[in-house]
Every structure is written in C-alpha cells, then in structure tokens.
Amino acid sequence: MPLEIPEVVIDRLPVYYRLLSRLQADGTAVVSSQELGLALGVTPAQIRKDLSYFGRFGKQGRGYSVQRLTEELRSLLGLKRRWKVVLVGVGRLGRAIASYRGFEPQGFDIVGTYDVNPEAVGSGADDIEVRSVADLQRDLTVGPVDIGIVAVPGTEAQAVIDVLVCAGVTAILNYAPIAAQVPANVEVRQIDPVLALQGMTYHLNRRAGQP
Amino acid sequence: MPLEIPEVVIDRLPVYYRLLSRLQADGTAVVSSQELGLALGVTPAQIRKDLSYFGRFGKQGRGYSVQRLTEELRSLLGLKRRWKVVLVGVGRLGRAIASYRGFEPQGFDIVGTYDVNPEAVGSGADDIEVRSVADLQRDLTVGPVDIGIVAVPGTEAQAVIDVLVCAGVTAILNYAPIAAQVPANVEVRQIDPVLALQGMTYHLNRRAGQP
DNA sequence: CCTTGTGAAATAGTTCACAGCA
DNA sequence: TGCTGTGAACTATTTCACAAGG
C-alpha cells in the first residue's frame, strides 16, 4: 500500500463502485476480477492491481465478496457520509443540474444555489431558492460547503471559482468551457460535452479517409 | 509524424483549440507554448510535443500564429464540416441537452430526437419534434448520422447503444451511468458528474485525516 | 535573445506470469 | 482447480535539454 496512488487509479474506483452496487442490488454474492473486467471493458489484472493499492479484498480461488468490496469502496471514496454542494449558475444548464435526481441518492446534497440574477429563476414550478452570487462569499463563511458546481458562462467562471477557492472549497465540478486556474490543493473535474465530441470527430474525420 | 498518435494527445487538442479560438476572438496574433501552457495549466513541452505529432506549426523565436494554429486544429479535429447528431432520451436530462446552445456553433446539429414515450415531450414551449425509439433503426438507415447522444436511463442505455452501433453510428456520447459495450471501431465518451464527484470525494475524505 | 521541434532520458502506468492459498 | 496479489517486464507518456532557426 504505497503512499502515492496514481490519479488514474482513483478515477477508476467510482466506476468499479458503480458496477459493484448494481451487482449487490442484483443479489450477486461473489465476483471475480475476470467478470468485473468483462463488464467494464478493462483487463482483470488492472482491476486486481488497482484494488491492491488499498488492501487485499479478495479470496484466492473464489473472487471478491460483492458486499465486502462495495463497502470497502464506499469507505475509500468517502461515500459513508453526505457532502454539501453549492451550485453557482442557474440558467438553463444550472436548472437541469439542480433538478437532477442522481446526486442525492449518492450522498451529494445541493445546499445552496446562486446566480447573478436570482429573481429570473422563480419562473417555473421548481421550488429551489436562488440567492445572489454577491452573497456567496459570506454564505460560505457562515456555512462551509465541500464542493462547488460551476454552471455559469465561461466569462464569469474563473471569478466564481476564485470566490469558491478563497472561501475554502477544495473540490470543483466545472461545467463552464474554461480551463480553471486553481491552487494545487484544489480538485477540479471538467464536464464538457463539446470537448468530448471534438475528441471523437478527430477519429470520424480520419476514418473518412480510408473506409 | 508517426502513424500511432496517443489518445491522450488527441483528447487535448480540443482544449488547445478552445483556447486558441478565444485568443483569436480577442485579436491575439501570436502565442508561445509557454503562454498556452500557463493558461491551461500544462507544460510548454507537452504542448510542443503534442503539436509536433501533426506538423510544424510554429516559428522559432516567435511562437505560433494564432490564426494558423486555430485553422490547423480545426482541420485536424474535423471541424471544417458539420456533424449530424441524434439524441436518444428526452427526459429531464435529454431536454437540457436538446436545448443546449453550445453544440450548434461548434458544428454539431441535432437532426433527430427520440424517446420511448414521444408524446410526453410536447409539454413545454420547446419546438422539438420527438420520434419513437421504435423508429430509430429505420430512420438511421434512411438518413445516416455521425454521432449518437444517449440520455436514457441506465437500464435502457445498452439497448439504445446497440441499435445505434448496428445502424453504423461510430461515435457515442453517453450520459447514462453504464460502461457501454461497443466494438473497437466505435468511439465512446462518458459524461458522468457523479463519477467525477466521487473521484473528488476520495481526496476530500483523505484530507479530512491530516488537515 | 527567444522559442520551436525533437531525440533521449525519465516517469508513469499497464500487463504478464506465477507463487501461494482456498 | 481457480483466482488473488504482486514483483518484474513491458509499454506509454511526459519532461528534459539542446541544436537550429529567426
């Protein structure tokens, strides 16, 4: 169990965890690295090696207890507690994020939503209270949060991220189309469908040459 | 210019392209790998090496012409043409994707939207026509598309992906929380905010130990 | 003097292959 | 027998460092 675990390994753990959760719900008791690898499209060796960074969770000749491994991953990933999240930006995208039902069951609670223009939001039947971004810094001092989700236009995103970081938020999920500048101790993950599409059109374009 | 270009390199090109586009809009004429690296949080050597897989686009002592490099990247990434996209799944998430304004300016046209339950969608003021997924296979045969965006529940996602792949779609943007099974010639990119959050909670959790 | 492009060196990550245990 | 855990081998990726050009 070395002190330096590669970031790629950490980013695969949630993928393993998600599959394990499903297997557990399906009532599967035991699973081998072979079976996991098949379902996820990765090699069994990689799964065993990844898990071996954190402990010995399997049984030789048998495989892994689904129950046990799910619990270990929950623990490793910090999913035994709930996490406080603020959402900044409540435009079209922000509203979709605010109403997404997938966060809460996984332990992520959106405890505040902010926008430069808070009154523009009470338009629908959605019952979310939106505060002004001007209040963000103060609110974070009063009630700290763990994670910030940024869904403002690219032009405003860095300023919002700066406020979050200054207020001590050390994890940011960035939907804005910019490369966020943050100190080394702050985690950032980028969600950007356009970048993903453009990575694929490279291949589509290339294939158009010799089909 | 070797024949085998690493996938990580290809996935960074859109990031470079996005920044270059902004610089061009701002009227910047020339930029060095140092400046690009600073703005993106990567090393200048990496940018030079990445670009060198595709050609020699810079001028020694000067840097890169923003105009020239933007054009080269547009060309490499296949962004000089428009791409036809279908969206499958028009629930909460699918509607947000359908109404997202960021695809069209980048050359991605959503030419069809599908749902198992097409009539449920005409609820708002949105003017999108939604067809039944039952029609998907036939429609794709009549008018092929380049890219499929999957925004259906996890339980249905693999079936939808199978239909797309069988119909010859070789690029899939998957918003469903599953590890898609596809043949080797099909590109898949996953958009999953929960996985991204869980990758960050690992670090938050760990830090809670020794702050 | 400044900055590219690039082999070579260094680092990082993956896969192999097998000892060891159930 | 079947499968894990893991050093060692291999492969991939990043960074260095410098020749060469403007």
Q: Which range of residues forms the domain containing residue A38? A: 7-76
**Contact between B211 and B194 (Cβ < 8 Å):** no
Cross-chain Cβ contact A102/B194 below 8 Å: yes
Cross-chain Cβ contact A13/B147 below 8 Å: no
DSSP-assigned letter for residue A23: H
Query: Rg for chain B (alpha carbons), in Å?
Result: 20
| Domain final residue, candidates A52, A76, A100 | A76
Domain shared by A19 and A108, yes or no:
no
Domain shared by B87 and B67, yes or no:
no
Domain shared by B89 and B187, yes or no:
yes
Residue B54 maps to which CATH number?
A: 1.10.10.10
User: Does residue B203 lie within any of the structural domains?
Assistant: no
**Contact between B176 and B153 (Cβ < 8 Å):** yes
Strand D nucleotides, any atom under 7 Å from protein beta carbons: they are 1-7, 12-17, 20-22
User: Does residue B54 lie within any of the structural domains?
Assistant: yes
**Contact between B130 and B105 (Cβ < 8 Å):** no
User: Does residue B205 lie within any of the structural domains?
Assistant: no
Q: Which long-range contacts (CB under 8 A, 24 or more apart) does A203-207 make?
A: A203/B10, A203/B170, A203/B171, A203/B187, A204/B78, A204/B83, A204/B146, A204/B147, A204/B170, A204/B171, A204/B187, A205/B76, A205/B77, A205/B78, A206/B78, A207/B170
Token pair belonging to B131: 């067809």
Alpha-carbon gap, residue A6 to A12, rounded angstroms: 10
User: Does residue A93 lie within any of the structural domains?
Assistant: yes
Best residue in A18, A73, A197 to probe B by mutation, most B CBs within 10 Å? A197
User: Does residue B202 lie within any of the structural domains?
Assistant: no
Residue A127 neighbours by CB under 8 Å, 6+ apart: none
Which pLDDT score is estimated for A2? 47
The three-class DSSP label of residue A155 is helix
Task: Annotate A30-95 with three-state secondary structure.
Answer: EECHHHHHHHHCCCHHHHHHHHHCCCCCEECCCEEEHHHHHHHHHHHCCCCCCEEEEEECCCHHHH
Domain shared by A102 and A48, yes or no:
no
Cross-chain Cβ contact A201/B77 below 8 Å: yes
Domain shared by B95 and B180, yes or no:
yes
Best residue in A47, A202, A206, A207 to probe B by mutation, most B CBs within 10 Å? A202
Pairing state between β A108-115 and A130-132:
parallel
Which pLDDT score is estimated for A4? 86
The residue among A144, A147, A15, A129 whose CA lies nearest residue A83 is A147
Which pLDDT score is estimated for A174? 98
Token pair belonging to A109: 């609670």
Domain shared by A93 and A186, yes or no:
yes
The pLDDT > 90 percentage for chain B reads 90
Cross-chain Cβ contact B14/A199 below 8 Å: yes
DSSP per-residue codes, B113-157: EEESSGGGGTTSS----EEEGGGHHHHHHHS--SEEEE-S-HHHH
DSSP-assigned letter for residue A152: S
User: Does residue A201 lie within any of the structural domains?
Assistant: no
**Contact between B1 and B54 (Cβ < 8 Å):** yes
User: Does residue B180 lie within any of the structural domains?
Assistant: yes
Identity of the residue in B76, B170, B181 whose CB atom sits nearest the CB atom of A202: B76
Residue A36 neighbours by CB under 8 Å, 6+ apart: A16, A19, A44, A47, A64
User: Does residue A188 lie within any of the structural domains?
Assistant: yes
Alpha-carbon gap, residue A110 to A157, rounded angstroms: 19
Domain shared by B109 and B177, yes or no:
yes
Q: Which of residues 147-186 of A touch B (CB under 8 A)?
A: 147, 149, 170-171, 173, 177, 179, 181
**Contact between A121 and A130 (Cβ < 8 Å):** yes
Which pLDDT score is estimated for A208? 81
Domain shared by A115 and A141, yes or no:
yes
Which pLDDT score is estimated for B196? 98
Cross-chain Cβ contact A195/B40 below 8 Å: no
Residue B103 maps to which CATH number?
A: 3.40.50.720
Which pLDDT score is estimated for A21? 98
Domain shared by B15 and B93, yes or no:
no
The residue among A102, A82, A77 whose CA lies nearest residue A191 is A102
Residue numbers 19-48 of B with CB closer than 7 A to any atom of strand C: 32-34, 44-45, 48
Domain shared by A89 and A190, yes or no:
yes
The residue among B149, B192, B175 whose CA lies nearest residue A190 is B192
Domain shared by A146 and A66, yes or no:
no
Q: Does B79 touch chain A (CB under 8 A)?
A: yes
What digits encode the pLDDT tens for the residues B116-152?
Answer: 998 755 545 456 799 999 999 999 999 999 999 999 9
Domain shared by B128 and B69, yes or no:
no
pLDDT lower than 70: segments of chain B: 1-3, 120-127, 209-211
Digitized pLDDT (tens) for each residue of chain A, 211 residues in all? 446 899 999 999 999 999 999 999 999 999 999 999 999 999 999 999 999 999 999 999 999 999 999 999 999 999 999 999 999 999 999 999 999 999 999 999 999 999 999 875 554 545 679 999 999 999 999 999 999 999 999 999 999 999 999 999 999 999 999 999 999 999 999 999 999 999 999 999 998 876 5
The three-class DSSP label of residue B86 is strand
| Domain final residue, candidates B48, B76, B104 | B76
